Structure 1
Amino acid sequence: MPSACTVSANYLSSSPGLRRYFAGIFLIEITVSDGGVIEDFMFPDWATMRFNQAPVIAGTTREGGQLGKSRFSVSGPRSQEVNIRTGSLRQWGVLIHPLGWSLLVGKPAHEYANRLVDGMADPTFERFRPLAEMLFSEEPDRDGELQRLTEFFDGLEPLDEPAADSIAKVYDALYDPEVDSVAQLADVAGLSRRSLERLCRRTFGFPPKLLLRRQRFLRSLTDFTVDPSLKWIGALDAAYHDQAQFVRDFRHFMGMTPSEYGQRYKPVVEPVIRERARYGRENLWGSDGMASLACT
């Protein structure tokens, strides 16, 4: 019997300058009754830095990579689910889009793809450790913590990224459901197919074909989660040829079938997806459904 819990997920607006780094800034608060723990999973996503008030959350990748409890954890760009186990938690996180990864981290994204690392130990993330030390107050203070997080990242000197414009164009195109082939993605970015492959591997972590498949899958997963009355057949993205193709993608990205997903206890992933969808509608996407990513 799963432990009883309450989960609050909030995506928050911040400094306009941080749009060049982040697809979102979020606060997750979990209360698990009687000192218990809950288990859930994270869906495929962009890279994420998570700052925990106390080190109570641990993760495991599909390949068996493990991250023990840490105050500052980093998940690279993901094309697979990550299993998590946590007790009561307060966690601030930043969802880092590919341009943000290049400007803040600078390492090839494919080196961290589908990986979990301890930001307090991996030298790549040393420059972000002071935030883990200063972010939280003794008592919860959402406004003060958000201000400290914002001021910290506003104060960082961005790294040089000559391909910033191309990265932004590819990122925006991935959110356009009308772009459903690598050739279209290359045309939008103004790149040869070979150059697009290199750029995506270095800054997005995966080949462009996989990125298109992932976004198509995530649109379907989001629609189903936000409105379960659609059933899976009603939530399928228009780019899918049939339900069998969707089931194959579901196994690839989530390591389970849609039916198995529907039967799982999902105390964290469902409120997070719903909140992400709300935030995206209100802040990131226009009426055409495309993301808006500033390069400056």
Structure 2
Amino acid sequence: MNQKNRPAIDPSIVPEQGVTKDGQPLSYNRAPAPDLAPWIARLYVTKVVAPADYTLSCGIFNDTPFVRIQLAGVWTAETATGPEAMGREALFFGPQTKRMPITVTGSFISVGVGIRPGACTALRGPRVGEFLDRLVPTSAVATPSDRVLRMLRADGAPEDWLQALESQVRKRVEHMDGTLPDPVSARFEELAFSNPAIAVSDAAEHCGVERRKLERVVNRDFGLSPKQVLRRARALDMASHLRGVADLDEAEEIALRYYDESHLIHEFSAFFGMSPRQFVATPQPLLTLALESRQARRLEALKRIEPGEARPWQ
């Protein structure tokens, strides 16, 4: 797929964390502290300066639940339960099954922690399947929103904020006596990163369980069937490649996961609401941030880069 027509971000907005080599926005995102790795997928801070009356229309697409603390900006989202408006608030986002349209007006700051598959189950948190393509204030599922906001000092640095969030997760893990996510979910997550074209029956064999058990565990911990999780992983990898936040050495492998171009167009359009060509030609700053963070996590999980090491697109 030709990426030459991919536009850089609008010069009206300025990401504080910089851009990739070809002008795509970056956030500050990193792996969790090693003791929290079984439960936390990723942490991030995004700070963008924009005119007060500037509205950015974009979307997000994450394959894990996120707690997002919106410290600045006026936000809207098109969710499974209808449109939602957000200001300064702490929110629980379930995983997305497709691109979720998002707008934000003015300069914005978003701080978040991604939750690994099975962690909500292990820590007796929300049932992921009940929150697909939805968002709710954290008050509805765990800690009151205002208490979360108080954890993040207004004059704090991004790393201070992330460590404050890690501290809260650590307390919950300790309260639950360190209960780990189901190893079947952890292994299936690795397969979705390494080989999302795998047949479900083969995935069950790799996970050391019967297909029926794999389907039961994945439905519980991912909120989707194994087949749906793998389809989504293929689409997210392709989208990352098209936005220039994937390892170019994988380009051919990613493309070969689809039978032909018509298969790619059909699948991609189902997840993103546009063809791959339209996706390349349309600015996608918020979505690119989410994809970049996921790809960094993926490459680290597959031991292709070390945490904190420069990423291929930087």
TM-score bin (small chain)? 0.7 to 0.9
Amino acid at match of 1:183: S
Helix, strand or coil: the match of 1:186? Answer: helix
Helix, strand or coil: the match of 1:239? Answer: coil
* Preserved contact between residue 72 and residue 119 of structure 1 (Cα < 8 Å): yes
Amino acid at match of 1:164: D
Amino acid at match of 1:257: S
Where does residue 277 of structure 1 map in the other structure? 295
More deviation, 86-95/127-136: 127-136
* Preserved contact between residue 119 and residue 180 of structure 2 (Cα < 8 Å): no
Where does residue 44 of structure 2 map in the other structure? 26
TM-score, normalised via structure 1 length: 0.83
Where does residue 150 of structure 1 map in the other structure? 166
Where does residue 4 of structure 1 map in the other structure? 12
TM-score, normalised via structure 2 length: 0.79
Helix, strand or coil: the match of 2:86? Answer: coil
* Preserved contact between residue 68 and residue 91 of structure 2 (Cα < 8 Å): yes
**Stretches of structure 2 lacking an aligned partner (at least 5 in a row):** 1-9, 18-26, 307-314
CA deviations 1:117-171 (Å, max 9, x no partner) are: 2223x2x23x364652323223242232222122111111238868712221211
Where does residue 84 of structure 1 map in the other structure? 102
Aligned mates of 1:279, 1:211 — CA distance in 2: 17
* Preserved contact between residue 41 and residue 269 of structure 1 (Cα < 8 Å): yes
Amino acid at match of 2:164: R
Where does residue 292 of structure 1 map in the other structure? none
Amino acid at match of 1:114: D
Say yes or no: does 1:67 pair with 2:84.
Answer: yes
Aligned mates of 1:27, 1:17 — CA distance in 2: 21
* Preserved contact between residue 39 and residue 84 of structure 1 (Cα < 8 Å): yes
Amino acid at match of 1:200: V
Aligned mates of 2:293, 2:132 — CA distance in 1: 24
2:149 to 114, 133, 152: 133
More deviation, 131-140/76-85: 131-140
Question: What is the CA-CA distance between 1:36 and the residue it aligns to?
Answer: 2.2
Helix, strand or coil: the match of 2:103? Answer: strand
**Stretches of structure 1 lacking an aligned partner (at least 5 in a row):** 290-296
Aligned mates of 1:98, 1:44 — CA distance in 2: 12
Helix, strand or coil: the match of 1:132? Answer: helix
Where does residue 43 of structure 1 map in the other structure? 61
Question: What is the CA-CA distance between 1:259 and the residue it aligns to?
Answer: 2.3
Decide whether aligned partners of structure 1 residues 107 and 272 sit closer, same or farther in structure 2, where only a CA change above 3 A counts: closer
2:277 to 259, 265, 271: 259
* Preserved contact between residue 196 and residue 234 of structure 2 (Cα < 8 Å): no
- Equivalence map 1:1-296=2 (5 Å): 4-7=12-15, 8=17, 9-54=27-72, 56-61=74-79, 63=80, 65-70=82-87, 71-86=89-104, 87-120=106-139, 122=140, 124-125=141-142, 127=143, 129=145, 132-156=148-172, 157-158=175-176, 164-177=182-195, 180-226=198-244, 236-281=254-299, 283-287=300-304
* Preserved contact between residue 224 and residue 235 of structure 1 (Cα < 8 Å): no
* Preserved contact between residue 25 and residue 93 of structure 1 (Cα < 8 Å): yes
Decide whether aligned partners of structure 1 residues 192 and 13 sit closer, same or farther in structure 2, where only a CA change above 3 A counts: closer
Question: What is the CA-CA distance between 1:220 and the residue it aligns to?
Answer: 1.5
* Preserved contact between residue 50 and residue 94 of structure 1 (Cα < 8 Å): yes
Question: What is the CA-CA distance between 1:58 and the residue it aligns to?
Answer: 2.0
Helix, strand or coil: the match of 1:67? Answer: strand
Where does residue 21 of structure 2 map in the other structure? none
Helix, strand or coil: the match of 1:196? Answer: helix
Aligned mates of 1:194, 1:163 — CA distance in 2: 19
Question: What is the CA-CA distance between 1:254 and the residue it aligns to?
Answer: 0.9
Amino acid at match of 2:127: P
**Matched residues, number:** 281
* Preserved contact between residue 40 and residue 116 of structure 2 (Cα < 8 Å): yes
Amino-acid identity (%): 20
Aligned mates of 1:161, 1:14 — CA distance in 2: 17
More helix by share: 1
Amino acid at match of 1:269: L
Amino acid at match of 2:238: S
Question: What is the CA-CA distance between 1:92 and the residue it aligns to?
Answer: 0.9
